[in-house]
Amino acid sequence: MKIKVYQIDHEKDAWNVMFMDYAFTRKHGGVNPAVYKTVFDGNVDANNLEEIFALLNTQAPVGYNGHSLSVSDIVETEEGFHFCDSFGFKKLDDFDSTQAEPITGHRMLVVEPHKEPYEMVISEGLEPLQQAVGGIIDCTYPFDDNTFVISNDEAKCMGLDGNRRIYGSIYAGVFLIAADDGYGGTADLTDEQVEKYTEMFREPEDISPEEVQDDMGFTVIGY
């Protein structure tokens, strides 16, 4: 399901309501959207708020740049805005998300093993990229335009699932398709690039662990 997650920016938290419950927050200025920042905007493998809470406290999804879901955080679903309280969630009727700080980053394509690609705004900086791919990043340029692949440099050594084959090379684990800004950084993918690479990687591939290991160029032998 599609969700957004908002968390309080401690530098804007004049009333010290971060991690405090709904009753306390109401007594201390109320739920102020202007002190919140957007830490996630994407899809999660969950069907309700309880599953979202469990997921965001065990395995952060690609593109998640906040702390584990906690009291005072807000989850937006198609049903509205929900304040994470001490017990359960409190539905908010007047949370103006346009006042919250948006995610600042670039439009990329996320390609996960066994799934169709999907686009997402990944926050700027090295840490969000490392979070997205689950480790040290590696950049390769297999395409004939300004796009490149950001992947986990240790994915095969970590035994991550094979993902896709790109011109004879096997990529394991999650990888991103990003645009190069020409100055060593990233830029937004164009609509045409999103369409092109979504189609290129639309079909998940069945790649065995043995194929992934063979593509490493060496064999690990246990004793």
pLDDT of residue 219: 41
CB 156 within 8 A of CB 216: yes
| CA 80/CA 184 separation, integer angstroms | 39
Can you list the residues of the chain whose pLDDT is less than 70? 217-223
- pLDDT tens string 169-215: 999 999 999 999 999 899 999 999 999 999 999 999 999 999 999 99
Q: Is 2 exposed, middle or buried (0-12, 13-18, 19+ CB in 10 A)?
A: exposed
pTM above 0.75, yes or no: yes
Domain ranges in the chain?
2-99, 105-214
CB 195 within 8 A of CB 118: no
The DSSP-derived string for 26-60 is: HHTT---GGGEEEEEEEE-S-SSHHHHHHHTTT-P
Residue keyed to tokens 């969000």? 128
Q: Is 45 exposed, middle or buried (0-12, 13-18, 19+ CB in 10 A)?
A: exposed
